[in-house]
Chain A
Amino acid sequence: MSTAVEQVERLLNLVPYLRSHPGATVAQVADEFGVSQKQIAKDLNVLWFCGTPGGFADDLMEPHVGEGGAIHLDNVVEQITRPLRLSTREAVALLVALRGLAQVPGLTSDRDALERALGKLESAVGVAAAGTAERLSVAFEARDVVLEVVSRAQAEGRALHLRYYVPSRDEVTERTVDPMRISMLTGRAYLDAWCRSSQGRRLFRLDRVVRIDVLDEPASVPEHVLKAPEPADTALRVDSHDPLIELELAPNARWVPEYYPCESVRELPNGGLRVALRAPDQDRIRRLVLRLGEGVKVVGPAGFAAAVQGTAAAALAGYGC
């Protein structure tokens, strides 16, 4: 879209926005529309020349910027006081999301509101867009007792006690946490919580919760944590100082990069892959290699290869080999 067309799109939203938000400041509007304040000032200047055709000055709109940047739009043209209807793509994005959210398991209080919103939006966007939205869907895991317990604790504002499995150490840890948010990413549910035991905000994968108890005491997330900005997508935070582990995967182990974040993936002539993984936690990769067995060859580093070999040899001893 050209800049002029983008500006027209914005102006057609701006007029109704200013009408429904009289006194909104240039800063607020810039923030809402995702452009600079300078751009909003330019947009307002265009409005001075827009109005009912005829060409007389009193047919044109009058955007005034007052004290503190508060905008008042006078002489609004009746024809454009409603925003443009949603495009098919816009409608689809919201409808599919609402439908996906409404069937999230463990959701109790919001489901009704989601369904009502869905119904109203569907009738507002028209048959064609609603029909296209039917062709896209997002489903979440259906059976999860843990999720139900967590959302109950959340609704009641209570703390939780978790027995939580850490696979890299093959160990179950005990923690008391104050639930904040349940995030569902890539088909998995995580509990985003303040962990009292480690005094930090942590993500817990719900399928690794061994046992969960709702405590009588109220949840209390420290004020500074609630106010802190949303942590960036912590999901794939990997330190570039961690050693890079290189593996050659047989064709039947091609699924690995679908589940493990790889820094590089290269095709091999035999139909396999050569991948490089970086993890603070070599145990995790070592366990992956043990699982793959004949489907993998460790390229390096040598220390890692030796650790794998040592573990395999120790395990074989258990079989008398």
Chain B
Amino acid sequence: MAASKSERLVNLVICLLASRTFVTKERLRRVLEPYRNCPSDEAFERMFERDKEELRELGIPLEVGSADAYFDDEVGYRIAPGEYALPELSLDSDEAQALGQAARFWQQATMAQAASSALLKLKAAGVEIGPASPVGIEPRVRAEAPAFEPLLEAVYERQVVRFSYRRGDGEVRSREVEPWTIDSWRGRWYMAGFDLGRDDERIFRLDRIAGPVMLTGRSPEHPIPDQLDVRARVAAFALRPEGDLGTATIRVRKGTCFPLRRSASALEEGEDGWDVLVLAYRDGFEGYVAEFGADAVVVEPAKLREAVIRNLRSLAMAEVDDVGEAAAAVADGDLAELRAEWEAAS
């Protein structure tokens, strides 16, 4: 019966669009055959109520108003053509291409779907959008954090959310937040909002939200500040630099340790197969040096030197069950191709 129902709904839309005045229920029942054929008033009422709901679900702006200039209680319905239809959009071909590119931007399912249904409407309106060029810049965005979708929903529906949040130090607490903005910086998503428990503005990383995000059904009570100000604060939070601890001198074997060489402020080439680098270092730098194994040795400061030694010792002392397999663990040369691909991607 799906076909006859679709037919009824399309005809209802046409009828309500065609009328300049509000159309009463009684008139709709006279004009549209499926309504006319209803066996009882109750059956008609039920059918009409459901149909109205479904038009609203489609985003069709159904207006209710007085159908009679003299009697206020005579209620009628209509769809204002200006509210219903996509306005005329005259786009140059490069603008149309830009919209095509925008529609391919999202890799997150809900956003991708919304973008492609938007594009279909534009195409239906006659906008010509060609296929993607195989050459060019093609930025794409993922939103893998499971919190993305419910938070987006909360922004659309203007609702307070509740979720568990794990801080950087591992502490997990329940939060209630009025969401303001959702922003991505360097591929990571952040939500800024008003934290009701803390009674203050807070910024959250979506990948640190543990467990489900609940929409509370309550409306936010605090005004949303200017988006640009909020965005600037999120940017400062997301892009904050970690402070330098000082300058280190490191010996590196020739032909190795390229990332260290790249950030060096001075490089002295040695004759013994080693070069000496001077570079600014930050908290946690010992791990970065240890990563290069026997190819990098910290000369000074002593504190960094000790930290690297401590780091390496904890690994060298670890219990190992079977040393016989050591050789097998060294990456196989045949894997070079696969490795390059995986490497590039990750």
Residues of A within 8 A of B (CB): 1-5, 7-9, 11-14, 16-17, 20, 32-34, 42, 45-46, 49-55, 77, 79-80, 82-94, 97-98, 100-101, 104, 106-107, 110, 113-114, 116-117, 120-121, 123-124, 132, 134-141, 151, 154, 165-168, 170-172, 179-188, 190, 198, 200, 202-205, 208, 210, 221, 226, 233-239, 251, 254, 258, 260-261, 271, 279-284, 286-294, 296-298, 301-319, 321
Contact = CB atoms under 8 A, between A and B. Distances in A.
B258 A83 contact: no
B331 A82 contact: no
A83 B180 contact: no
B74 interface: no
Given A17-B124, A79-B18, A86-B118, A182 B318 contact: no
B120 A13 contact: yes
Given A136-B181, A137-B181, A318-B294, A202 B9 contact: no
Contact of B231 (A137, A308, A317): A137
Interface of B: 2-3, 5-7, 9-11, 13-15, 17-18, 31-33, 54, 57-60, 81, 83-87, 89-92, 94-99, 101-103, 105-107, 110-112, 114-126, 134-142, 152, 155-156, 169-170, 180-188, 207, 224, 227, 231, 235, 255-259, 262, 286-288, 290-295, 297, 305, 308-316, 318, 320-331, 335, 337-346
**Which of B185, B227, B297, B318 has most A Cβ within 10 Å?**
B318
A258 to B, nearest CB: 6
27 contacts: A1-B57, A5-B54, A8-B13, A16-B124, A17-B120, A33-B120, A83-B86, A84-B59, A94-B115, A100-B141, A116-B95, A132-B156, A139-B186, A180-B135, A182-B136, A187-B187, A221-B135, A237-B345, A280-B338, A280-B339, A291-B290, A305-B318, A305-B321, A306-B320, A307-B330, A309-B318, A315-B293
Nearest to B23: A53
Contact of B256 (A123, A170, A305): A170
B117 to A, nearest CB: 6
B94 to A, nearest CB: 4
A316 B136 contact: no
Given A14-B124, A239-B338, A284-B339, 18 more contacts: A45-B3, A79-B13, A85-B83, A91-B118, A93-B106, A97-B103, A97-B115, A98-B99, A110-B98, A120-B91, A165-B259, A185-B142, A205-B344, A235-B346, A289-B315, A311-B294, A311-B315, A319-B297
Contacts of B97: 113
A297 B169 CA distance: 19
Contacts of B318: 297-298, 305, 308-309
B290 A13 contact: no
A154 B123 contact: no
A294 B286 CA distance: 11
Contact of B118 (A51, A93, A188, A258): A93
B301 to A, nearest CB: 14
A321 B309 contact: yes
B259 A167 contact: yes
A204 B344 contact: yes
B325 A80 contact: no
B134 A181 contact: yes
A135 B325 contact: no
A167 to B, nearest CB: 7
Given A17-B124, A45-B3, A198-B337, A254 B14 contact: no
Given A51-B14, A306-B326, A8 B170 contact: no
Contacts of B255: 171
Contacts of B122: 83
Nearest to A227: B134
Contact of B105 (A45, A86, A101, A135): A101
A315 B124 contact: no
Contacts of A294: 310-311, 314
Nearest to A250: B170
Contacts of A92: 114, 156
Contact of B32 (A53, A132, A154, A261): A53
Given A104-B139, A304-B329, A97 B102 contact: yes
Contact of A52 (B14, B84, B292, B313): B14
A97 B100 CA distance: 10
Nearest to A251: B170
A53 B118 contact: no
B259 A8 contact: no
B78 to A, nearest CB: 12
Contacts of B337: 198, 200
Contacts of A170: 256-258, 292, 295
A262 B152 CA distance: 26
A87 B140 contact: no
Given A94-B118, A203-B345, A309-B318, A292 B287 contact: yes
Given A94-B103, A117-B95, A136-B155, A293 B287 contact: yes
Given A17-B123, A305-B318, A139 B185 contact: yes
Nearest to A279: B342
B311 A50 contact: no
Contact of A202 (B181, B320, B335, B340): B340
Nearest to B58: A9
A138 to B, nearest CB: 4
B313 to A, nearest CB: 7
Contacts of A137: 181-184, 231
